[in-house]
Chains A and B, each alone.
Chain A
Amino acid sequence: MNWLIAILQTILFVVLAPLLAGWIKCCKCRLQNRKAPSVFQPYRDLFKLTHKQPVVSEQASWLFIKAPYIIFSATVLAATVVPLIAVDLPTSASADVIVMVGFFAFARFFLALAGLDIGTAFGGMGSSREMTISSMAEPAMLMAIFTLTMTASTTNLSFAISHVLNEGLVLRPSFVFALSALVLVAIAETGRIPVDNPATHLELTMIHEAMILEYSGRHLALIEWASQLKLMLYGVLIANIFFPWGIAESFGIQALGYGLLVIIGKLALLAVFLAIAETLVAKMRLFRVQEFLSFAYLLGLLGMLSHIILEAAR
């Protein structure tokens, strides 16, 4: 039963991810006085792409063709770890939050390799930048997460969330810092403005798009889907770690349904904030990104120190 709910939750993750992307786009269009596409547009795009014949370069090796499947699977695995509607699921015990970061690294490793495979300058450019940004973002993210795991003294996400729930509403300075750090990292890692612009092709500042320029058809669909999934994962991490109220602690239909509604609400709200931020802020120069990320790291460090100095038991 537990396993069934765990699998169901993962499927929910995969199915809902394009919806979140569509909702963000919708909000952004409204904010910018444009006519918004339907919220379901990403599903239509994915459907269209999966039914097209993929065109692959003559120079491509097996790695280029297999990479989308690997990237997608790694991201789905990361999704199994994160509690979406319920805590205490068996899948979150099989891998903890460090493993989740590892899955992201796995997906990124193959994405960057796929960018280098064809031998175009764009691909290399994207890979190089992606690896640069992620190598700055990963320590900041782990710093933020360690603050949480040290408070809850577990790296198991499910137990950590339960711990926050049981503590009740306590304003912890460390959590405020960690939350800000995680938000900054999430923006960088999911390629949103001001770090990268998901809406552009053929700009010399592009990062994510540069790596996947050569992909088409179902391969492109998988990669797009994986990046939508990653965006949702970060959203759920922020929503459920710092504002876990509403998540199901028992496996009754009612509790689960309530959990689903609450998380959809939280994500929708987060998406609105993201759309506002993307509308207000301009994209940064590439070599400003490290300042952005070192700021995130600094916030994470401050969170950690304030946990140690102010909150620890002794």
Chain B
Amino acid sequence: MILVLAYSAVLLSFFSGLLGLMMHQRQHVLEFSQYMFNKLPRRSERCQSLIAPYLEEHRFPFLLRKAVFVLLGLSGVFAVLAGLSVLIGKTVVTDQLSLGLPWLPWHVRFDCLSGFFFLIIGIAVSSVSLYGPGYVNSYDESQHPFAVLGLFTGLFVAGMMLVLLADDAFFFMIAWELMSVASYFLVAFQHENPANRRAAFIYLLMAEVGALAIILGFGVLAGFSDGFTFDALRKANVSTTWASIAFMWALLGFGMKAGIFPVHVWLPEAHPVAPSHISALMSGVMLKVALYGLIRFCFDLLGDVHWQWGVVLLILGTVSALGGILYAMMQTNLKRLLAYSSVENIGIIFMVLGLSMIFMANGHPQLAALGLLAALFHAFNHALFKNLLFLGAGIIHHQTHQLNIDMMGGLIKKMPKTSMLFLIGCMSISSLPLFNGFVSEWLAFQTALQVDVLDNGVLRSLIPVAAAALALTAALAAACFVKVFGLIFLGLPRSHHCEKAHETQDKGMLAGSSLLAGLCFLFGIFPGLIISLINSVAGQLLGETLPNDAALGWLWLAPVSVSQASYAPPLVLIGALIAGCVSFWYLRRNPSTAIRTAETWDCGFGGLTHRMQYSSSAFTMPFRRIFAKVWIIDEQIDKDMQGAMNQDVAAVHYQLRIQDHSWPRLYEPIARGVNSTAKLVGRIQTGNIRVYLGYSFATLLLLLWVIS
């Protein structure tokens, strides 16, 4: 039953892709329906009258788009149902599909871990399918055909779900490649821009290198076992060294997809150029699928984790979290900024996973369960709020035709609903209390503070430092999203487009985002709902659940014990409402003190224009100065002089370019190395036929010598 739900989710997304292909086949559909009517003359009159209006020339594309997204949405709903049923039932379902290689049918396994990620995919896909129809309407059909978008969206979603279902390395890689390649075409969707083609190419290159690393990781394990099924890999008796090598390959492969520093560079390139609902899926969900791969590989297939791996994850995660948010802060392109912030959040998840590994390896499985729970909960939350922010960015782009936050401003009055939804996203991602982002961060801190149980002195001093880095990350994230919300929605409009912007008329776009915003708030107030689900994941994966199972109520959150830490978000909400209402009522009751509006005071300077506001580079200037070493900063101020002595400044040009260190430090040397190797190899290609004949002769002699 559970598998039927999961399979139907996959099939529905697949069909939605196929249906997208029908976009330009109206003529064929017409002919086919005529043919069917002639074949089956009974009732054809009524059927024809029923179907005919849908096949009219101007309605057909519109309805088809709707149908594609309805199928996608249904797939999401089925995925949620499948995930919930396996999480509540705490079961494991296995199956075999007679597809694939003759001696290796596709093995399918659906357990709590897969179920939890199915839940994430399901929620994200449902909201995207509500949002999609309104968003794709703006594309010009002749230039950006919907058939391509629809087909690859369907394949992409189906690929992600299949990755979660796979139970042998072969099937896993096929599904993984389906996901990667389909998303490549989505990134390259608006391929008329050279930048988009470049981004898509970088993405494809890194995805394939990552896939190679994953294959090598599986290969190492398969070398010690008698097959490619995950069951066989689990049983493999791997020595510590080889297990560590397999771990490093898996970390490289999955880390590349998840966007961990320094292999994150495809993220800020690919996310801004893809259509917004696709970037939402890529950032919110695909990165999580990579995370799933890592968790599956380390905790399930490798079995015995080592604390050194945990330290590697912890350090990589810390660097990613800090680097991600610092780079995000400097961006002016909204979607690029969000992409870097994904690097940050993935870093946080890696940190907590690392803690979980450390506790697991040191014989504290209950605390490992706490860490795993915090990591998975943060993954879930990140999927919610990052999707919400990307969808919000899509609405803003749709209404103002730009993504540069330095050109926006004042949208809170023009787009009140979008601004409210975006504000909720910003508050969740800045981990403010009452929203879901805070709860997972709180759990992460609680995990880090359990460090006292460890014996190793290095770990005992390393983990608190990592916790402080997490605190710094959270504070920087708050600063970054104050900048984002403040520059986009508050202040005066900085461009003509923003002045003319108005709220989106499409109810679906708002509904998709509202669903996510509502969930952000719901799970911020009642985190127990989702935590009890994740607890069963930990139970299946680690064989242990939280130290304090009994305290898992809807009201209280006390993961370790009540005397150590507790948090009751509903009580906090009630308190906040009381405090707010009392002060509001007390101060508003006197009618003579009603608000009077007047010109902006601005210390009496007056003459305020939108050019005088703080811009993105102004807002982040203190950070740029304090953390100057983090970026490659190229700042130029040119003055145009005029007048008799060339002393009057006529105009000032300011230019600021901020670059990622990883390009010149890591990628360009690799590119140079590849090029120079190619040149060396090129030397043997002289272009002279006699030399080539000589090569053939030498080869022949060599082969003859080998044979004899």
Contact of A154 among B465, B483, B563 (CB under 8 A): B563
Nearest CB of chain B from residue A9's CB, rounded to whole Å = 13
Contact of B596 among A54, A59, A105, A116 (CB under 8 A): A54
For the complex, what is the distance from the CA of A61 to the CA of B621, rounded to whole Å?
26
Nearest CB of chain A from residue B287's CB, rounded to whole Å = 25
B603 touches A122 (CB 8 A): yes
B451 touches A57 (CB 8 A): no
Interface centre among A51, A56, A146 (most CB of B within 10 A): A146
B427 touches A150 (CB 8 A): no
Residues in B whose Cβ lies below 8 Å from that of A60:
597
Given the known inter-chain contacts A53-B593, A63-B412, A154-B565, please indicate yes or no for A116 contacting B490, CB distance below 8 A. Answer: yes
Comparing A25-33, A233-241, A297-305, the segment that makes contact with chain B is A297-305
Q: Does any Cβ of A come within 8 Å of B156's Cβ?
A: no
**Residue tally, chain B, CB below 8 Å to A:** 84
Q: Does any Cβ of B come within 8 Å of A58's Cβ?
A: yes
Nearest CB of chain A from residue B484's CB, rounded to whole Å = 11
B597 touches A57 (CB 8 A): yes
Comparing B49-57, B470-478, B510-518, B684-692, the segment that makes contact with chain A is B470-478
Residues in B whose Cβ lies below 8 Å from that of A95:
433, 567-568, 571-572
Given the known inter-chain contacts A61-B412, A109-B482, please indicate yes or no for A222 contacting B490, CB distance below 8 A. Answer: no
Contact of B571 among A94, A96, A290 (CB under 8 A): A94
Q: Does any Cβ of B come within 8 Å of A142's Cβ?
A: yes
Comparing B142-150, B331-339, B442-450, B643-651, the segment that makes contact with chain A is B442-450
For the complex, what is the distance from the CA of A60 to the CA of B600, rounded to whole Å?
9
For the complex, what is the distance from the CA of A50 to the CA of B589, rounded to whole Å?
11
B614 touches A124 (CB 8 A): yes
Comparing A16-24, A34-42, A130-138, A242-250, the segment that makes contact with chain B is A130-138
B580 touches A96 (CB 8 A): no
For the complex, what is the distance from the CA of A91 to the CA of B434, rounded to whole Å?
16
Q: Does any Cβ of A come within 8 Å of B485's Cβ?
A: yes
B579 touches A73 (CB 8 A): yes
For the complex, what is the distance from the CA of A305 to the CA of B646, rounded to whole Å?
60
Q: Does any Cβ of A come within 8 Å of B60's Cβ?
A: no
Comparing B4-12, B29-37, B454-462, the segment that makes contact with chain A is B454-462
B452 touches A312 (CB 8 A): yes
A155 touches B452 (CB 8 A): no
Nearest CB of chain A from residue B491's CB, rounded to whole Å = 3
A61 touches B490 (CB 8 A): yes
Q: Does any Cβ of B come within 8 Å of A262's Cβ?
A: no
B490 touches A113 (CB 8 A): yes
B593 touches A52 (CB 8 A): yes
Residues in B whose Cβ lies below 8 Å from that of A269:
none
Q: Does any Cβ of B come within 8 Å of A119's Cβ?
A: yes
What sequence of 0s and 1s flags, for each residue 115-146 of chain A, a beta carbon within 8 Å of any chain B beta carbon? 11111111111011101101111110011001
A132 touches B595 (CB 8 A): no
A56 touches B598 (CB 8 A): yes
B471 touches A142 (CB 8 A): yes
Nearest CB of chain A from residue B587's CB, rounded to whole Å = 4
Residues in A whose Cβ lies below 8 Å from that of B575:
76-77, 80, 91, 94
A202 touches B603 (CB 8 A): yes
Comparing B82-90, B373-381, B396-404, B622-630, the segment that makes contact with chain A is B622-630
Residues in B whose Cβ lies below 8 Å from that of A308:
457, 460-461, 464
Q: Does any Cβ of A come within 8 Å of B430's Cβ?
A: yes
B432 touches A128 (CB 8 A): no
A105 touches B412 (CB 8 A): no
Given the known inter-chain contacts A102-B431, A213-B602, A222-B583, please indicate yes or no for A54 contacting B491, CB distance below 8 A. Answer: no
Residues in B whose Cβ lies below 8 Å from that of A51:
590, 593
Contact of B597 among A58, A98, A156 (CB under 8 A): A58
Contact of A153 among B452, B476, B600, B623 (CB under 8 A): B452
Question: Would you list which residues of chain A between 44 and 97 have a CB under 8 Å from chain B?
Answer: 50-63, 65, 69-70, 72-74, 76-77, 80, 91, 93-96
Nearest CB of chain A from residue B449's CB, rounded to whole Å = 6
Contact of B452 among A56, A150, A290 (CB under 8 A): A150
B576 touches A77 (CB 8 A): yes
For the complex, what is the distance from the CA of A290 to the CA of B627, rounded to whole Å?
10
Contact of A65 among B455, B595, B618 (CB under 8 A): B595
Q: Does any Cβ of B come within 8 Å of A108's Cβ?
A: yes
For the complex, what is the distance from the CA of A135 to the CA of B449, rounded to whole Å?
21
Nearest CB of chain A from residue B162's CB, rounded to whole Å = 39
**A217, closest chain B residue (CB):** B593
Given the known inter-chain contacts A56-B596, A58-B598, A113-B482, please indicate yes or no for A119 contacting B468, CB distance below 8 A. Answer: no
Q: Does any Cβ of A come within 8 Å of B239's Cβ?
A: no
Contact of B567 among A72, A96, A202, A213 (CB under 8 A): A96
B461 touches A304 (CB 8 A): yes
A213 touches B601 (CB 8 A): yes
Given the known inter-chain contacts A109-B430, A146-B464, A305-B461, please indicate yes or no for A121 contacting B576, CB distance below 8 A. Answer: no
Nearest CB of chain B from residue A114's CB, rounded to whole Å = 9
Residues in B whose Cβ lies below 8 Å from that of A112:
482, 486
B491 touches A58 (CB 8 A): no
Question: Would you list which residues of chain A between 150 and 184 have a CB under 8 Å from chain B?
Answer: 150, 153-156, 159
**A60, closest chain B residue (CB):** B597
A interface majority secondary structure = helix
B593 touches A132 (CB 8 A): no
Residues in A whose Cβ lies below 8 Å from that of B626:
132, 136, 287, 290
Question: Would you list which residues of chain B between 559 and 576 have a CB under 8 Å from chain A?
Answer: 562-568, 571-572, 575-576
B467 touches A57 (CB 8 A): no
Nearest CB of chain A from residue B191's CB, rounded to whole Å = 37
A132 touches B623 (CB 8 A): yes
Residues in A whose Cβ lies below 8 Å from that of B464:
143, 146, 150, 304, 308
Nearest CB of chain A from residue B577's CB, rounded to whole Å = 8
Comparing B20-28, B605-613, B697-705, the segment that makes contact with chain A is B605-613
Nearest CB of chain A from residue B361's CB, rounded to whole Å = 18
Contact of A125 among B413, B474, B610, B614 (CB under 8 A): B614
B595 touches A74 (CB 8 A): no
Q: Does any Cβ of A come within 8 Å of B228's Cβ?
A: no
A73 touches B596 (CB 8 A): no
Residues in B whose Cβ lies below 8 Å from that of A93:
562, 566, 568
Residues in B whose Cβ lies below 8 Å from that of A69:
580, 583-584
Q: Does any Cβ of A come within 8 Å of B631's Cβ?
A: no
For the complex, what is the distance from the CA of A70 to the CA of B468, rounded to whole Å?
27
**A134, closest chain B residue (CB):** B475
A119 touches B625 (CB 8 A): no
Residues in A whose Cβ lies below 8 Å from that of B579:
72-73, 76-77
Given the known inter-chain contacts A135-B479, A202-B603, please indicate yes or no for A113 contacting B485, CB distance below 8 A. Answer: yes
What sequence of 0s and 1s flags, for each residue 274-307 of chain A, a beta carbon within 8 Å of any chain B beta carbon? 0000000000001100100000010011001100
For the complex, what is the distance from the CA of A129 to the CA of B478, rounded to whole Å?
13
Contact of A135 among B475, B601, B610 (CB under 8 A): B475
**A305, closest chain B residue (CB):** B461
Residues in B whose Cβ lies below 8 Å from that of A136:
472, 475, 626
For the complex, what is the distance from the CA of A214 to the CA of B472, rounded to whole Å?
30
For the complex, what is the distance from the CA of A112 to the CA of B572, rounded to whole Å?
22
Q: Does any Cβ of B come within 8 Å of A103's Cβ?
A: yes
A139 touches B622 (CB 8 A): no
**A53, closest chain B residue (CB):** B593
Q: Does any Cβ of A come within 8 Å of B592's Cβ?
A: yes
For the complex, what is the distance from the CA of A142 to the CA of B449, rounded to whole Å?
11
For the complex, what is the distance from the CA of A116 to the CA of B613, rounded to whole Å?
8
Interface centre among A52, A112, A124 (most CB of B within 10 A): A124
Task: List, sorted by A's number, 10 A–B pairs whose CB atoms are closer than 8 Å.
Answer: A58-B597, A74-B576, A98-B446, A106-B433, A117-B486, A120-B608, A128-B621, A156-B565, A221-B587, A309-B461
Known contacts A132-B623, A139-B475, A308-B464, then 7 further A-B pairs from the complex at CB < 8 Å, ordered by chain A residue = A55-B595, A56-B596, A59-B491, A95-B567, A106-B432, A136-B475, A143-B464
